[in-house]
Structure 1
C-alpha cells in the first residue's frame, strides 16, 4: 500500500490551465467514482481517493498499490482534455512521507498563495467529507486527513503563522480603495453566493459602500446572503442589462463558462460614459472573459493578479514557518510509523498463525507420548526442543545459505530478532 498526491497549483500552472482541471464540489462524487474505476483496472484493488479543488490548486490524494500511480495522471489529463505528456510538466507527484508532508502543509496554510490563510483548511475538510460520503475513503486516507487537521490546529494554536495574513477578500478591497477615493460612494455587485463571495462581501460591507447587490443562480441563497447587509438581489439573467449600474464587480461562481463577456462590458462602459469599473474575477475557471482586461477604463484582476498584494505581510510570518515545519515533521513521522505498523499487520497475522500451527503440532505429539506412558519430564523436554527447532529453522537456513555479500546483513538481522537482551 502506497500513498500519493498528484496535483497542479498556482506555482506550477497558469490560471487558464488550472481552470481546465477545476472540479465543482457537486461534481466530486461522480469524478471520484470514475477515478477509482480507472485506477482499479486489471488486477489492482479499488483505491482510496479524494480530490481537492480550489481556485489555486487541484490535487488528487490516493492510497493504493503504487502501480496505479501513472494512471492517476492519465485520468486527470483525460478529464481536462490534455495529453498526459503536456500535463506532466505542470504537475507534481509526491509519495508516502512526502505526500503526508504536503497534505499537512496544505492544511496548515504553508503551501497557499496567501501564506497562513485559513480558508484552505475548510476547503480540505469539505473535500474529505465529500469523499467519505461517496465511499471513496478508507482507513489510510482517513488517517492522513484526520492527522492533517490535527497538525493544522496545532500549527495555528502554537505559532503566529496566520498573523498579518491578507486574504484574497481583503486584497480585493485594498485594490478597490486604490482606484476609488471613497468606497462609501460606490455601488458593488457580487456575482455568486459561495464562501469566497461571503468573505469578500463582509470586507466590502465594513467600508459601507453606497449600495450592494447579489446576483446568483439560486435566488434563495442570494437572498440569504443579501439579508445580512441589506443588499439587493438580482437574477443572473439580468446581469448584462444592469452591469452598467455598478462601479465594482466581484465574481466567484462554479460556472464552467464565463458569465460576463466582452460585449456586455463594452455596452456597460458606453452607458457609464466610460466611468471606470473595478472588476475582480476570483473564479477558476474564469467568470469574466480575459479580453475584458484590454478595455480602457476597466481594471480587471484575477486570483493570480492578487498574488503581490496578498504577499505583503509574508516577511512577518516567515519566523513562524520554521516553527510550523517542526510540528509538521513530527506529524509526518507519526503518520509513517502508523503506515509501517499497518503494513506489517498481515505479516504479524501470518507469523501468529504459523506459531499456532507449530504449537498445535507439538502439543499433539506430546499428548501421544503421554498416552503411551512416557515420562512427563521427557515429554516436556521434547515439546520445548521441537518448538525451539521450528522457531530457529528459518534463521539457520538463511545463515547457511547467505552469500558472502549478504552474510553480514543476515547475521545482523538474526541478532536483532533472536538475541535481543531484556531491559
Structure 2
C-alpha cells in the first residue's frame, strides 16, 4: 500500500490561485466522490482519499496499491479550471514517508503561516470526519491521520511551539490599533459567523469597541454570535447600504465570489466623507474585490498581507521547532513500519484461511470415525497426524525439488521457520 499527497499552500501559491482550489466543508463529500470515481477501476479499485482545505492550503491525500500522482494532479488542475503547467509550478507532491512527515508537520502547526497555531488541527479533524462520512477513508489514511493527531498532541505537550504565537485575528487587531488611536471609539463589522470570525470578534471585543455588528447570510446564526459580544446582527443583503457606518470590517465567508465590491466601498467612503476604513479579508477565495485596495482611505489586508505580522517572534521558537521535528521523525518511522507490515496482511489472511480449511477437513474426518465407533485416542492420533502431514507437505515437496543451491536456501528457511527452539 502506498500513500501520496498533492497540495498548494501559502508558501507556494498566491492567494487568488489558492482560491481556485478552495473547498467549503459541505463541498468536501461530493468532491471526494468525484476524485475517487475518476481513478481507473482496473488499476485503482479502492482509492482512499481525504481533502484538507483552509485559507492557507488545499491538500489531497490518497492511498492505494499503486501511486497515481499524475492522475491526481490532472484531476485537481481540471477541478480548478487552470492549466496543469500553472498548477505544477505552484504545487508540491509527496509520497510515503515524505507525505507522512508533511501531514505530521501540518497537524503540529509547523507548516502554518502562524507557527504553532492550533486551529489547523480542528480543521484537519473536520476533513477526516467528512471523508469518513462519505466512505472515502480506509484503514491506511485513518491510521495516518490518527497518528498525526497523536504526534500533534505530543508536540504541543512536550514543546513550547505554540508559546506567544500571534494569530491572524490578533494580527488584525494590532494593525487596526496602528491606524486608529483608540479602538474604543471604532465601530466594527464582522461579515460571516464561522470559526475565524468568532476568533476575530473575540480579539476585537477585548478592546471594547464602540459597537459590534455581525452580518451573515443566516440571520439566526449571526444573532447567536452577536449576542455573545453584546452586538447586533444584520442581514448580508443590508451590508452595502450600511457599510459606511463602520470603521473596521473583517470578512470571512465561504462565498465563491466577492461579496463586498468596489462600488459599495466607494459609496461608503463618499458617505463617510473619506474617513478611513480598515478592512481585513480572511477568506479564500476573496470576500472583498482586490481593486478596493487601490482606493485612498481604505486599508485592506488579506491573509497573505498579514504574514509578516504573524511571523514576528518565530525565531525565538526555533528550539521548540527542533524538538518537534524529533517527535515527528519518530512518528514517521512508526507509521512507515506499520505501513510495511500491511503488505503481509493478504498473505497472513491466506495462511489463516488455508489452516482453517485443513482444520475443518480433519474435524469432519474425526467426527466420521467417532460415529463409526473408533476410540477417542485413535481418532485424536489420526487427526493430529493428518494436520501434521498437511502442514508439512509443502515444505517437504520444496526440499525435494530444484537444484542444490535452491534446496540449500529452502532448507535454511524451513529450519528457521520450523526448528526454532522454545525460549
Length-normalised TM-score, structure 1: 0.88
Contact kept? 2:191, 2:214, Cα under 8 Å: yes
Q: Match for residue 305 of structure 2? A: 305
> How many residues align structurally?
414
Report the aligned-residue RMSD.
3.2
Q: Match for residue 125 of structure 2? A: 125
Pair 1:235–1:382, CA change in 2 (3 A): closer
How far the C-alpha of 1:420 sits from its partner, in A, is 6.5
Q: Match for residue 296 of structure 1? A: 296
Determine the C-alpha separation between the residues in 1 that align with 2:63 and 2:233. 45
In the alignment, does 2:108 pair up with 1:108?
yes
How far the C-alpha of 1:394 sits from its partner, in A, is 4.3
How far the C-alpha of 1:395 sits from its partner, in A, is 7.2
What whole-Å deviation, never above 9, does each CA across 1:385-408 have from its counterpart, x for those lacking one? 996573265478677467xxxx99
Match of 1:212, SS? Answer: strand
Determine the C-alpha separation between the residues in 2 that align with 1:382 and 1:218. 73
Q: Match for residue 34 of structure 1? A: 34
How far the C-alpha of 1:143 sits from its partner, in A, is 1.3
What whole-Å deviation, never above 9, does each CA across 1:10-48 have from its counterpart, x for those lacking one? 111110000000000011111111111112444421311
Q: Match for residue 63 of structure 1? A: 63
Pair 1:390–1:109, CA change in 2 (3 A): same
How far the C-alpha of 1:201 sits from its partner, in A, is 0.2
Q: Match for residue 187 of structure 2? A: 187
1:120-269 pair list within 5 angstroms: 120-269=120-269
Contact kept? 1:50, 1:131, Cα under 8 Å: yes
1:401-412 pair list within 5 angstroms: none
Determine the C-alpha separation between the residues in 1 that align with 2:400 and 2:164. 64
Could you tell me which runs of 5 or more consecutive residues in structure 2 were left unpaired when the two chains were aligned: 365-373, 375-380
In the alignment, does 2:395 pair up with 1:391?
yes
Q: Match for residue 8 of structure 1? A: 8
Contact kept? 2:22, 2:58, Cα under 8 Å: yes
Contact kept? 1:399, 1:411, Cα under 8 Å: no
What whole-Å deviation, never above 9, does each CA across 1:57-102 have from its counterpart, x for those lacking one? 0011111132433221111111100122321221111111221111
Pair 1:22–1:392, CA change in 2 (3 A): farther
Q: Match for residue 337 of structure 1? A: 337
Pair 1:118–1:245, CA change in 2 (3 A): same
Determine the C-alpha separation between the residues in 2 that align with 1:79 and 1:16. 15
Determine the C-alpha separation between the residues in 1 that align with 2:220 and 2:64. 42
Pair 1:51–1:71, CA change in 2 (3 A): same
Match of 2:120, SS? Answer: helix
Contact kept? 1:36, 1:49, Cα under 8 Å: yes
